[in-house]
Amino acid sequence: MRKFAIGNWKMNGNIASLKMLGEVQAAQALSGVSVVICPPYPLLHAATLASNGSGVEIGAQSCHHLANGAHTGDVSSDLLADVGARYVIIGHSERRADHHESNSAVCAQFQSAKTAGLTPILCIGETQAERAAGRTIEVISSQLKASLPPQAQAFILAYEPIWAIGTGLIPSLDEIAQVHAFLAHQLAEICGSDSKISVLYGGSVKASNAAQIFALPHVDGALVGGASLAAKDFCPIVTALGHVQ
């Protein structure tokens, strides 16, 4: 399975932050893994120019489901592709919460991303209360099924427990392994056993815990928030992923 270290800058960073791409490119070249950086919209074009010709690719953090039109403040997948983005995160829990994005809205975004030639990075994950109630598998399973259009192929899935995002808390290694084994099985059922969908873990991934997480079966990399903002934090995560056999 293809290994990905993906940085989600969220609403952080500025033009000066793009300088870190040089160090990330060097770490990517040594590691051989796939690296994607997802900065805020206004930085996308500069980021694609800065990463052009390197092994680091650029993604966006959301997209509108329509190709154009009167939708003030929104950005289409076509425009993301036009400025050189190759990936787009969809269904992040912060978008689901802040912008009330439903599974069906996420599904429509997935389709627009594919039509524009982008690779969707679909996020799913349970709340703390859902985990405490023993409903993790049920919740992520229904999110996955309802967010994917029929015949979905060639996307990335990110399992991000909502309570682990930005908190420093992570599930136990056994818990992560259990969810990823379930997702690998479910993806084989939905998309076919030869579909080769990479499944990433996200939520408080740091240089200090990355190697242990990456060593788990069915974990094909990480979607990283806070620790993707500085090269000194993100490059060791890229390197750790490169060490996984």
Catalytic residues, which ones? 92, 160
Give the nearest residue (CB) to ligand 13P.
225
Q: Can residue 171 be called a binding residue for ligand 13P (CB under 6 A)?
A: no
Among the listed residues 130, 203, 218, 238, the single contact to ligand 13P using CB under 6 A: 203
Residue 60 and residue 115: Cα distance in Å, rounded? 15
Stretch that binds ligand 13P, among 66-74, 130-138, 175-183, 203-211 (CB under 6 A): 203-211
Least separation, in Å, of the C-beta of 204 and ligand 13P?
Answer: 4
Number of neighbouring beta carbons within 10 Å of residue 228:
29
For every residue of 32-101, DSSP letters joined together read: -SEEEEE--GGGHHHHHHHHTTSSEEEEES--BSSSSSS-TT--BHHHHHHTT--EEEES-HHHHHHS--
Least separation, in Å, of the C-beta of 77 and ligand 13P?
Answer: 19
Residue 221 and residue 214: Cα distance in Å, rounded? 6
Instruction: Lay out the site mask for ligand 13P across 73-92 (x = CB under 6 A, - = otherwise).
Output: -------------------x
CB nearer to ligand 13P: pick between 188 and 230: 230
CB nearer to ligand 13P: pick between 65 and 92: 92
For the chain, counts of helices (H) and of strands (E)? 10, 8
Stretch that binds ligand 13P, among 66-74, 108-116, 149-157, 225-233 (CB under 6 A): 225-233
Q: Can residue 120 be called a binding residue for ligand 13P (CB under 6 A)?
A: no
- C-alpha angle 224/225/226, rounded to 5°? 120
Q: Going by DSSP bridges, is the β-strand pair 119-124/87-90 parallel, antiparallel, or unpaired?
A: parallel
Q: Can residue 8 be called a binding residue for ligand 13P (CB under 6 A)?
A: yes
